[in-house]
Amino acid sequence: MSDKIVLVIEDQKSMALLLQQSLSQICDLPILIAHSLSEAQQVIDSGQQILVCLSDLHLPDAMHGEVVGLLQKHHITTVVLTANYSEQTRQEMFKAHVADYVIKDGKASIDYAVNTVVKLVNNALKMVWVLASPNGYTNKLVGLLKIHRYPVRVFEDCKSLQKSLQKKLPDILLMEDVNNIRGAEIFSFVSSLRSEYSVNQLPIMVCGGGEDLPSAIKLMKYGVNDFYHVDSSAEEFYVRLNQNLEQAEAYQKIERISQTDALTQLYNRGYFFETASKRLDEWQKQQTPFFVVMADIDHFKKVNDTHGHQKGDEAIVFVANQLKQVFKPYLVARFGGEEYCVIGELSSAEQILALCESFRQVVEQKALAETGVAFTVSVGLNFGGVDLENAIFLADEALYAAKENGRNQVVNRSIQTKDECFSA
């Protein structure tokens, strides 16, 4: 077996069920229960992939915390539940490289434990990049990150990191030993990053403290989000890291909501104009050809009036999904109502015409089966334009021609007769 699971080890059956139920409400993975060390060993031996384990520290057949050793032996990320807190216990837990430990003293602590488990599961989907210095603390830092299941990529110089940023952004960037990073003066490097990426697009934490503290504070004025100290506790490091990640995620979520249409999840009209204008400026500087597509559901009022607004919404979502799939590399937006727009860099006019026709055909052929209502779309295509408004206006003229010529067809603005355009 290779199923991914979360394991709960708890000898009290009522507590085990509570933890299982709480986890099941916010985690899609199967939640298995073991009531003893021997049962936990059986689950491990079954071959199932235990992503995270939430375990009681003291079990009937492991009264002295032997379960932690078992889990660490098999490299299983572990959150420990303990009834009693002491500084000695705390030191022992982090010496054993557990991800976290929680005192079982009420609902709040149980909620914290459950949320921590889910967070650890999801950490594997995030990427942490580390800009390391030759004499830094890379191994310790990477070790801490891997305990919490973060994928980590280490860079030894600023140049290679900046090159990689052009392809993909990490969820957070950590800089260690800021006074000894190779390849760039660190303040100008941070300034250059902030000119490209906001504090929420690319959160940055630096290692600072002691003699490095003034540099760390200065870097925060240049755009670094936060700092950490290599000698601080693992708990403090994780708290700071999580706070910065969560803040960036919250901002990005709000940003996505502001940019997308709630019904179709396509970009909305405002984001389309903002982004398309920037792209068009670059294309015009580089003399790059571009295209604009306007699409509209035929007789949409009839769909709504005959079949109801719910079916109308289903039709809008269906068309949006087909448009997004066919024009995947390009900027696709819902303009409002049953109208959509696409803009993109042009490599081949024939290819774009073929994509428009493919989109028209798939709507005609699949609408009834997918939505329960038969309907079609009309498409207007334009190549180029003086500016964005002009390019959209010309594509809209082509769409109007498609409607006037009988609907369910693609019209290229430079082609004026029905016989010369793709038609059903």
Q: What is the pLDDT of residue 86?
A: 81
Q: What is the pLDDT of residue 207?
A: 83
Q: What is the pLDDT of residue 263?
A: 96
CA–CA gap between residue 222 and residue 215 (Å, rounded): 11
In DSSP notation, 134-160 reads TTS-HHHHHHHHHHTT--EEEESBHHH
Closest CA to 199 of 172, 180, 228, 168: 172
For residue 56, the Cα-to-chain-centroid distance in whole angstroms is 33
Looking at residue 182, the DSSP 8-state letter turns out to be: B
Q: What is the pLDDT of residue 229?
A: 79
Task: Spell out the domains of the chain, with CATH numbers in brackets.
Answer: 4-123 (3.40.50.2300), 128-258 (3.40.50.2300), 269-423 (3.30.70.270)
Which of left, alpha, beta for 52 (phi over 0: left; psi -120 to 50: alpha)? beta
Closest CA to 330 of 317, 347, 313, 316: 347
Q: What are phi and psi of 386, to 5 degrees?
A: -65, -45
Lay out the sheet containing 100-103: strands in order across.
Answer: 31-34, 4-9, 49-56, 77-82, 100-103
pTM for the full predicted model:
0.76
pLDDT tens for the 424 residues of the chain, in order: 458 999 999 999 999 999 999 999 999 999 999 999 999 999 999 999 999 999 999 999 999 999 999 999 999 999 999 887 788 888 888 888 999 999 888 899 999 999 999 999 999 999 999 998 766 678 889 999 999 999 999 998 888 999 999 999 999 999 886 666 655 578 888 999 999 999 999 999 988 765 667 777 888 888 999 988 777 788 899 999 999 999 999 999 999 899 999 999 999 999 999 999 999 999 999 999 999 999 999 999 999 999 999 999 999 999 999 999 999 999 999 998 999 999 999 999 999 999 999 999 999 999 999 999 999 999 999 999 999 999 999 999 999 999 999 999 999 986 444 344 444 3
Looking at residue 301, the DSSP 8-state letter turns out to be: H
CA–CA gap between residue 64 and residue 78 (Å, rounded): 16
Q: What is the pLDDT of residue 1?
A: 41
CA–CA gap between residue 337 and residue 340 (Å, rounded): 8
Cβ neighbours of residue 306 closer than 8 Å, sequence gap 6 or more:
none
Cβ neighbours of residue 255 closer than 8 Å, sequence gap 6 or more:
200
In DSSP notation, 15-53 reads HHHHHHHHHHHH--S-EEEESSHHHHHHHHHTT-EEEEE
β-partners of residue 334 are: 340
Cβ neighbours of residue 226 closer than 8 Å, sequence gap 6 or more:
203, 205, 206, 220, 240, 243, 244
Contact 284, 277 (CB under 8 A): no
